[in-house]
């Protein structure tokens, strides 16, 4: 039997969790969450985290493991995730990677050198420059020291720009050069995506935001602030949480908050789609209604078993 890892990827609100749960129950698998925010405790509603009942049905990794003020990155995820995959294969379990954080998925299934650990002094200095001079200035600097990395970034990719500049300052080498030292991957990724009409996907996103608020999202955010986490906490630099904090601090009214969360979530989905559509390994399954997930799950299970032969 081949060592095949099933990867279910795609934009937010596309039905990845529901599909993964169906498949995991059939294949007796465990889920590895490739979501950069679900790994944090207390960020439940705003990250569409699998419920406790769902996690009792199927084991999930990288969910509710860190406090919101702890640091975590794609390199750590890839390294730890591959150890979990090895453990699952030893236990005759199927690893099912699920998530919309493209860099996390890439780190896990392709491997890349993550560079040195974060240096708070360097990073804070870079963020001050970002706020004072803007992202375009930092991106221009990155083009000078690491044109290969800069060619894949937009000015909106501020975290990646700052990380690349940080690595260059700490090592004197471009992160693109360091990443050439690929990690050996000893499994085959089978990548699956759900292809919605964009209009329908955006409608699903709008409904999800309404459901989040009805489920107590503002109470969740208020609790995080009461626990001492601020808007500058890295895990809260997230669509939904930032807008909610602005509302709770009196900077925007409720209707503006709702519209901004919906708009920014749609923009996030667009960026995720752009990332994943560039990966030609992904097999996209057209879908127009969530009721089609059952038949898609059957097709994916069949495809997975064929790939394992």
* pLDDT band, very low/low/confident/very high, at 117 (cuts 50, 70, 90): low
From-to residues of CATH 1.10.20.140 in the chain: 120-178
From-to residues of CATH 3.40.50.300 in the chain: 4-112+182-308
Instruction: Let me know: does 249 contact 298? Beta carbons within 8 Å.
Output: no
Percent of the chain with pLDDT over 90: 80
Determine the topology of domain 4-112+182-308 in CATH.
Answer: Rossmann fold (3.40.50)
Nearest Cα to Cα of residue 268 among 294, 242, 247, 293: 242
Residue range 63-87, pLDDT digits in tens: 999 999 998 888 789 889 999 999 9
Nearest Cα to Cα of residue 194 among 2, 5, 4, 22: 22
CA dist., res. 31 & res. 256, Å (int): 36
Percent of the chain with pLDDT over 70: 97
φ, ψ for residue 61, nearest 5 deg: -110, 150
Specify the CATH number of the domain 120-178.
1.10.20.140
pTM of the model: 0.82
């Amino acid at each position: 039997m081949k060592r095949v890892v099933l990867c279910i990827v795609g934009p937010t609100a596309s039905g990845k969790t529901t599909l993964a749960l169906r498949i995991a129950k059939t294949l007796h698998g465990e889920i590895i969450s490739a979501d950069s925010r679900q790994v944090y405790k207390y960020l439940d509603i705003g990250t569409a985290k699998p419920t406790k009942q769902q996690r009792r049905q199927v084991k999930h990794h990288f969910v509710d493991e860190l406090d919101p003020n702890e640091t975590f990155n794609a390199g750590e995820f890839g390294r730890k995730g591959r150890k979990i995959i090895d453990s699952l294969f030893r236990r005759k379990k199927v690893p099912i990677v699920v998530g919309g954080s493209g860099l996390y998925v890439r780190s896990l299934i392709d491997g890349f050198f993550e560079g040195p650990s974060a240096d708070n002094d360097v990073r804070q200095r870079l963020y001050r420059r970002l706020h004072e001079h803007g992202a375009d200035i930092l991106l221009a600097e990155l083009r000078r020291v690491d044109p290969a990395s800069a060619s894949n970034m937009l000015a909106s990719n501020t975290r990646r720009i700052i990380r690349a500049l940080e690595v260059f300052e700490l090592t004197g080498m471009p992160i693109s050069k360091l990443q050439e030292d690929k990690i050996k991957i000893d499994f085959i990724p089978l990548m699956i995506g759900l292809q919605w009409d964009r209009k329908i996907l955006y409608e699903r996103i709008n409904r999800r935001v309404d459901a989040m608020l009805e489920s107590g999202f503002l109470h969740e955010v208020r609790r995080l602030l009461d626990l001492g986490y601020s808007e500058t906490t890295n895990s809260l630099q997230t669509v939904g949480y930032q807008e909610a904090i602005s509302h709770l601090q009196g900077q925007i009214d409720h209707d503006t908050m709702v519209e901004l969360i919906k708009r920014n979530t749609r923009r996030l989905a667009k960026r995720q789609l752009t990332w994943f559509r560039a990966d030609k390994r992904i097999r996209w399954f057209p879908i127009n209604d969530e009721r089609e997930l059952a038949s898609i799950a059957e097709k994916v299970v069949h495809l997975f078993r064929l790939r394992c032969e």
